[in-house]
Structure 1
Amino acid sequence: MIRTLQQDSRFMKIVFIVIISLATVTMVITLVPGIFDNAEANDASVYATVHQPGFLGRFGSGTPVKMTEVNQMASRLLQQQHLPDFLLPYMTQRAGMMLVQRSILKNEADRLHLQVSDDDLRHELETGPFAQYLFPNGKFIGDEGYMNFVQSAFELSRSDFEAQVKSDMEISRLQALITGGTTVSDEAVREAYMANGTKVKFDYAVISSEDLGKTINPSDAQLQQFFEQSKARYATAIPETRKIEYVAFDASSLPGGKPQVTDAEIQAYYNQHIDQYQVKDQVKTRHILIAVPAGADAKTDAAAKAKAADVLKQVKAGGNFAELAKKYSDDPGSKEQGGELPMMPTAGLDPAYAKAAMALNPGQTSDLVRSQFGYHIIQTEQKQAAHTKPLEDVKAEIVPVLEQQKAGAAEQGFATALAAAAKSEGMDKAAAAKGLHVVTTDYVARDGVIPGLADGTALLTQAFTAAEGAAPAAVATGDGFAVFQVVDVKAAHAPDFADYKQHILDDYRQQQVPALLSTQLNKLADRAKALGDLHKAAAEMNIAVKTSDLVDRTAQVPDLGAMNGPGEVAFTLAKGAISGPINAGRVGVVLTVLDKQEPTPDDVAKNFEKTKQDLLQAQDDEVFRVYLGGLMEKYQKSGAIRYAKGSQTQPSLPSSGS
C-alpha cells in the first residue's frame, strides 16, 4: 500500500542540497560521455525500461518491462488472432510496445496521484467483474479458493494479480480524467443513427477490370516497344539461379548405424525432467446443478437450495442419477450426458466443487455443495491423487526423444567430418569413402526445390549466401544432413522477349486497364443519366446489371464489396437516382437506387441512448489515443524509454489499434 510521504523540518535543507548538487551533476554529464548509456541494455530478461521523462528522471532505476511478460502476451495475441507461428517476432514487438505504453500510462497516473488503495482494490473485487467468482452472494470464497481461482484462471500469484488489477484501475482513472470532457450533441446522435440505420436496395452495373484486360490485345510491335521502354523493370526479371552439388544422408547412413539409448541415459533424462511427469489431482464426476444467478437475493437462493435438496432426496432414494441430471440440471454442457464431466484437473474446477469431489470415493454421492454457480449434487466416478508418473510408465515417451537427440548429434558430427574431408579431398572422393554419392542439381532459384531432400530450405538459404566454389558446408535437411557446394552461378538477368511474351502482355494489360476502366465507367454513368435509365445504358454497352438486397452500411455486396467503402454513396442518393462512376479498384460500378428505408423518429428515440454511448466511446477512444501518442513522443524524445539491445531499435508511435 502506498503511504503518504511525510515532510519534516529537514525538507528545506534537502531542497538546497539538491539545487547545489545539480551544478555538479551537470558537469559530470558533460565531462563523462556515455554516463546515461543503457546499463540495462545488456540484461536479457528486460525488454525495455521506462523512466520518468526529464532531467531528474534519468537518475531513477525506472520500471522494467520484463521479457517474460512480453513473450507471454505475444503468445496470447498469436493464439487469440489465430495467426501462424512465424509471425511471433512481429507480435513480440507489438506486445512489447503495448507493455511499454502501459508502463508510461502507469507513470502518468502515479504523477497525477491516481493511485489505488487496498480499500479501493477490495471494493473493486467485491463489486467488479471478479465479484461473481470471489464473492458469490456477497460471501468471500476464502483465501484458499481465492488463490486457486487466480492461479487456475490467470497463472499468477495473488500479489501479482492484485498488482495487475490495481494498475488497470489506475489507468482507467487516468482515461476517465483525460476523456471526462468529451461530449456529443443530440443532433449528432440523431444524424449518426439516421446514417447508420438507413437501408437501400439498388441495381448496379458492373464493369470488371479482368474482363476489360482481356479486350486489350496489342500487336507484337506494341509489346516489343513496351518491353524496350521498360528495360529497368525487366533487368532482373529472371532471378539468379545456382547449380549445387550435395551429399545427403540420415541416421541409417551413420558409421555403426543408428545410435542406441542406454538404460542409464533414460534414467538420467527422467531425473532431469521429473517436473514433466508430475500429475495433479484429477477427478471424473457427474453432477446435477441447480443454478443460482450471481447477486441473487436470499429468497432466490433458498428456493434453489430447496429444489436441490428435493433432487438429492430422489437420488438417495435410488433414483437414476443420469436421468435426474437430464431432467433437473441447469448445466447445459453436461445435462444431456447425464451430468457427466470428463476427467479433469481439480485446479480447473470451482474450489468447493473440487474439494467435495476429491473427498468422495468412486461411486459415492455428496450432500449439497454450494459453489459460485449454485447448488451441486456430485457423484465421483474416478479420481486420481497428485503423483509422479513412474519411469516404466513414461519410458516409451523418453526413448524416442533420446534417440532423436543422439542421432542428431551423431549426424551433426558426421556432417562436420564429411565437410572437412570434402574440402581436402573433393566431394566425390569424400562421399565414396563413406559409401555415399554426390547429386548435382540443375540451376535452381532461391525459392526452388532440391530433389531428394525432405526440406531443402536451409540448404538453399545458405547456398545463396555462399560464394561460387566456396568450401563445402553442412546443413540440416529435415530428415538428416547434407554437405553441399555451389559449383556455378547464373546472375539475375533480363528475359528474351519471345520467352517472356505472356508475362509482358499481362504487365501491358495491367498498365492499360485503369485508364480504360475509368473511360468506360464515365461513359456508362454519363449515358445512364442522359437516358434516365441504367438498364438501357448498360444494355447498349453489353454490361450486366445486378440487384442488391436491402442492405445497411455493415453489409457486403457481391463485386462492390463493403457498403462502408466506395458503395457508401448509395445511402446519399434519393430513390430512383443514378450514381456517378464508382471505382472500386478491380471493378467499376454505376448504381440506381430502387428502395430507401430511413429510420423513423420512434426508431431514433429507441436507439438514442445506445447510439450516444457508442459515439461517446468512439470519441473517448480517439481523445485517449491522441493523448497516448503525445506521451509516447514526449518519453521517446527525452530518452525516458530505454530498449534492451535487439528488442527494438526504432520504436514507432502508437497506432489507433494500440
Structure 2
Amino acid sequence: MIRFLQTPGPLTKYLLGGILLLICVSMVWYLVPSSGSSGISYNFGGFGKGVVAQVDGNDISSDDVRQTAKLMLQQQMPQGGPNVGMLLPFFAQRAAEQLITRQALVAEATHMGLHVTPEEVKDELQHGRYAATFFPGGNFIGEQEYEDMLQRANLTPTKFEGDVGNEILISKLQALISGGASASTAEIHEQFIKQNSKVKFDYAVLKQDDIKKGLHPTEAELKAFYDSHKGTYANSVPEKRKVKYALLDTSKIEDGVQVTRDDFRAYYDQHRDEYRVPEQVKVSHIWIKMPLPGADGKLDDNKVAEAQHRADDLSKQLKNGAKFDELAKKYSEDPGSANVGGSLGWIGRAQMTPEFEKAAFALAEGQISGVVKSSDGFHIIRLDDKHDAHVKSLDEVKDQSEPILKRQKGQQVAEKKAEDLLKQARAQGLDAAAAAQGIPVITTDFFARRDTLPGLGPANQFMDAVFTAAEKSPPDVAPASQGIAVFQLLGIKPAATPTLEEIRSRVEGEFKNERSNRLLIQKTQELSDRAKAEHDLKRAAKELGATMKTSDFVLPDGQVPAVGSMTGQASAAFNMKPGEISGPIMSGGDGVVLALLEHQEPSEADFAAKRDQIRDSLLQSKQQELFGLFVTSLRDGMEKSGKIKINQEEMKTLTRTGSEQGM
C-alpha cells in the first residue's frame, strides 16, 4: 500500500461512483476490436470456479465482469429505470471484451519491458484524475478515510493502486506504439480543404408521403402481401392469461403500524455513522482579489501591495467600529456574497483555501480576523456561528427514520399476512380465504404480459410469476409495486397468428410503406437519369412533380432541409463540379437529386490560422488508428496462440439474453 503524508484535520466524504467508473470504464472504446469474440479459443474445461477467461495465464473472474458491466450500465443510464437490469447481459459481453483486451495490453506491456513505479502511481493519485477525490485542495484526506472509501467501493488499496498502475502501463504502451504516427504538410492541407470547403446547390425533392397518398391497394394485393409476410405476423398476438387475485396493500398496512421507542433506538444504533455531522462554521468575509499575473505569468508586486493595503485599511476601519456588513457590501470583490453582507453561509473543511480554512476555524463566535492572505487574495473573516463535529441525537433523526421503519415493519406484516393468506387459499380456495380476511378479490379478463392490472401498478415480478405458472396450478404469491398479491391462474390463451381481417389496417399500412419506398427509389433514379439526359434538373423536376429548392453554402458537417446531414450520401456534392448532377440520394422519407452551383474552397489565410488545430486532430486520429491496429493484431495473435481462452459456459451464463441470471 502507498502511504502518504497526512494533513491533520476532519475529513470530508466524497462520492465513490466516479472512482470505479474511472478505473473500469475509462478505457478508450476503440481498444476493443469490433470483430467481437470471433476467433477466440473457447474452452469448456480447465478453468477455476467463477473464471470467465484466462489471458496470458491470468484469470478474469465473473465477479470482475459483473462489476464492470454494472458500472458501464450505470454510466450509460445514470437515471436507471424499471427494466434497466434487462440490459446487463448485453453490457456483460462488452465488459468481458474490455477486460480481456485490458489484460492483454498489460501482459504485452510487461513483455516489452515497460513498468510502473510506486512513485508514478502516487503522482497519478495526487496530481491526476483522482486528485480531487483523494487530495482536495492539495491535502490528503487521510489514510483511514482512503481505505474506508475504497472498502465501501468493494476495493482494497492494493487492488485499486494496481488498477491505477495498469492504466499508467497501458498509457505508456500506447505512447510507444502510436509515437511513430506523423502528419505531413500535404496531408494537413488536404484535411483542411476537406473540412472547410463549401458547396451550394439546387436540389429536387420527392416525398414518400406524397407517393403513399396515391396508393389504394386492392383486396388481392393485401392478401398477397399478407401471405408473403406471414412469418412476420406469426404469433404476433401475444399469449394472454386470466387470473383472480387479492392484494395486500402495503401502504394501508403501514398506516396501521406503530413504531416503538425500541424500534427507533435499534435503527439509530445500526445507522449511527449516517448521522455524523462534520465540524462546520458559518462565516462572512470581505475579499480583495489577488491581481492577475502579467503577460509573463508573474504578479506585479506593486499591485499586490496595493491590494493588501486596501485590505489593511478595511481591517483598521473594522477595529475602529465600522460595521462589517456595510463594508462588505461596499468594498468586497466577491460578487456572490457582497450584496448579502459578505455571508458565505455554512462551510466545512476542505471547501476553501488552506489559509482561509485555518483562520476561519480558529475564530471564536462573533470574532473578526485580521487580514488573511491566500492564493486568491486577501480576506477579512467573521465567524457568525459554529457547529462542532457531533452525532445527531435520536430525537433529531426521529422524523427522518420513522417512514423508513414504518415501511420496513409494514413490509414484514404484509409478508406474514400474505403467507397466511396463501396457506388458507391453497386449503380453502382464494375467494373464501380472502373473504375471511376482508380482502376483495379481483377477477381479470384475459391480459397480455405488458398490460397493467387494477391496483397493482408496475408489476414485473407479478407478471413473471403469472406467465410462468402452469395451468391448473395452485394459488401463488408475487410482489407488485403496490403490495403483495396472492393469485390464482384461471386460463391461458396461447400466442396466435392473426387473420388478415384482424390486422387489416396494419397490413395496409405496411403495404403502403413498402410499396411507396420502392416507388420513391425508382422515381428518384428516374429523376436523376432524366435530369442528366436533359442537362436540366429544374425541367426534370417539373416533369416528375418534384419540388425545387436551393441550399445556402454548406460545410461538410452541415445540414440541409430535406437532404439531411452532408456527411451521408449528400457528401458526393463535395466531389462534383459546377453544373454536374448527382445520382439519387435517399434521405429518410425523401428522395433527392442535386445540381451543383458552386464549390468554394477556403483561403490560405484560413489554413494558416487552423493548421495547428488540424494537425493535432489528424495526428490524434492517426495515433488512435495505429494503436487500434496494434490492439487488433495483439488480440488476434494471442487468440491463435491460445494465450486468450474463454470459458464458454461461464460466458453464456453471464450474457444470457433476456435474463439477469448470473448477474
TM-score under structure 1 length normalisation: 0.78
How much does 1:126 deviate? 9.3
1:563 to 550, 566, 581: 566
Equivalent residues of 1:148, 1:351 under 8 A apart: no
Aligned to 2:107: 107
Equivalenced residues, count: 605
Matched, 1:233 2:240: no
Letter in 1 for 2:259: V
**Which deviates further from its counterpart, 65-74 or 479-488?**
65-74
Q: What is the 5 A alignment of 1:373-412?
A: 373=376, 375-412=378-415
Q: Give the whole-Å Cα distance in 2 for the aligned partners of 1:503 and 1:529.
A: 39
Q: Give the whole-Å Cα distance in 2 for the aligned partners of 1:274 and 1:644.
A: 46
How much does 1:133 deviate? 12
How much does 1:312 deviate? 2.0
Return closer, same or farther for 1:232/1:109 CA change in 2, 3 Å cut-off: closer
Equivalent residues of 1:78, 1:85 under 8 A apart: no
Q: What is the 5 A alignment of 1:194-343?
A: 194-251=193-250, 258-287=256-285, 288=287, 290-291=289-290, 299-300=298-299, 302=301, 305-316=304-315, 317-318=317-318, 340-343=343-346
1:474 to 470, 473, 477: 477
Aligned to 1:624: 627
How much does 1:314 deviate? 4.2
Cα shift readout 1:159-204 (whole Å, capped 9, x = no counterpart):
8887666544332221111112222332221111101011223333
Equivalent residues of 1:132, 1:372 under 8 A apart: no
Bigger relative contact order, structure 1 or 2 (CA pairs below 8 A, ≥6 apart) = 2
Letter in 1 for 2:115: Q
Aligned to 2:14: none
Letter in 2 for 1:429: A
Cα shift readout 1:445-498 (whole Å, capped 9, x = no counterpart):
111121232333332222111122211111122122211122111112222322
Return closer, same or farther for 1:151/1:501 CA change in 2, 3 Å cut-off: same
Return closer, same or farther for 1:541/1:162 CA change in 2, 3 Å cut-off: same
Letter in 2 for 1:108: E
Q: Give the whole-Å Cα distance in 2 for the aligned partners of 1:618 and 1:449.
A: 50
Return closer, same or farther for 1:463/1:521 CA change in 2, 3 Å cut-off: same
Aligned to 1:20: none
How much does 1:308 deviate? 4.0
Which runs of no fewer than 5 residues in structure 1 stay unpaired?
3-32, 42-47, 653-658
Q: Give the whole-Å Cα distance in 2 for the aligned partners of 1:223 and 1:600.
A: 59
Equivalent residues of 1:93, 1:648 under 8 A apart: no
Return closer, same or farther for 1:402/1:121 CA change in 2, 3 Å cut-off: closer
Equivalent residues of 1:290, 1:330 under 8 A apart: yes
Return closer, same or farther for 1:50/1:613 CA change in 2, 3 Å cut-off: farther
Equivalent residues of 1:201, 1:548 under 8 A apart: yes
Q: Give the whole-Å Cα distance in 2 for the aligned partners of 1:100 and 1:304.
A: 58
Aligned to 1:433: 436
Equivalent residues of 1:283, 1:382 under 8 A apart: yes
SS at match of 1:203: strand
Q: Give the whole-Å Cα distance in 1 for the aligned partners of 2:433 and 2:61.
A: 58
Matched, 1:510 2:520: no
Letter in 1 for 2:214: T
Equivalent residues of 2:74, 2:80 under 8 A apart: no
SS at match of 1:464: helix
**Which deviates further from its counterpart, 61-70 or 266-275?**
61-70
Return closer, same or farther for 1:71/1:579 CA change in 2, 3 Å cut-off: closer
Letter in 1 for 2:114: L
Q: Give the whole-Å Cα distance in 1 for the aligned partners of 2:605 and 2:653.
A: 56
SS at match of 2:468: coil
SS at match of 1:545: strand
How much does 1:633 deviate? 4.6
Letter in 2 for 1:465: T
Q: Give the whole-Å Cα distance in 1 for the aligned partners of 2:156 and 2:314.
A: 40
Aligned to 2:449: 446
Aligned to 1:15: none
Aligned to 1:45: none
Q: What is the 5 A alignment of 1:489-528?
A: 489-528=492-531
How much does 1:601 deviate? 1.9
Letter in 1 for 2:106: K
Q: Give the whole-Å Cα distance in 2 for the aligned partners of 1:294 and 1:93.
A: 52
How much does 1:618 deviate? 0.5
Q: Give the whole-Å Cα distance in 1 for the aligned partners of 2:168 and 2:310.
A: 43
Equivalent residues of 1:49, 1:641 under 8 A apart: yes
Equivalent residues of 1:334, 1:341 under 8 A apart: yes
Return closer, same or farther for 1:397/1:622 CA change in 2, 3 Å cut-off: same
Matched, 1:592 2:595: yes
Return closer, same or farther for 1:85/1:431 CA change in 2, 3 Å cut-off: closer
How much does 1:414 deviate? 1.3
Return closer, same or farther for 1:259/1:651 CA change in 2, 3 Å cut-off: closer
**Which deviates further from its counterpart, 453-462 or 643-652?**
643-652
Equivalent residues of 1:282, 1:383 under 8 A apart: yes
Cα shift readout 1:237-257 (whole Å, capped 9, x = no counterpart):
222211121112314776x98
Aligned to 2:486: 483
Return closer, same or farther for 1:195/1:245 CA change in 2, 3 Å cut-off: same
How much does 1:581 deviate? 0.8
How much does 1:217 deviate? 1.5
Equivalent residues of 2:199, 2:599 under 8 A apart: yes
Letter in 2 for 1:612: R
Query: CA RMSD for the aligned pairs?
Result: 4.4
How much does 1:619 deviate? 1.1
Equivalent residues of 1:134, 1:146 under 8 A apart: no
Letter in 2 for 1:105: L
How much does 1:280 deviate? 1.8
SS at match of 1:583: strand
Letter in 2 for 1:113: G
Letter in 1 for 2:580: A
Q: Give the whole-Å Cα distance in 2 for the aligned partners of 1:322 and 1:530.
A: 83
Equivalent residues of 2:329, 2:340 under 8 A apart: yes
Return closer, same or farther for 1:206/1:370 CA change in 2, 3 Å cut-off: farther
Aligned to 2:417: 414
SS at match of 2:299: helix
Letter in 2 for 1:106: V
Equivalent residues of 2:457, 2:481 under 8 A apart: yes
Letter in 1 for 2:260: T
Q: Give the whole-Å Cα distance in 2 for the aligned partners of 1:296 and 1:384.
A: 44
Aligned to 1:37: 47
Equivalent residues of 1:583, 1:589 under 8 A apart: yes
Letter in 2 for 1:559: A
Return closer, same or farther for 1:334/1:422 CA change in 2, 3 Å cut-off: same
Q: Give the whole-Å Cα distance in 1 for the aligned partners of 2:146 and 2:304.
A: 24
Q: Give the whole-Å Cα distance in 1 for the aligned partners of 2:395 and 2:618.
A: 64
Equivalent residues of 1:202, 1:548 under 8 A apart: yes
Aligned to 2:177: 178
Equivalent residues of 1:635, 1:641 under 8 A apart: no
- The share of aligned pairs that are identical, in percent, is 34
Aligned to 2:20: none
How much does 1:643 deviate? 7.8
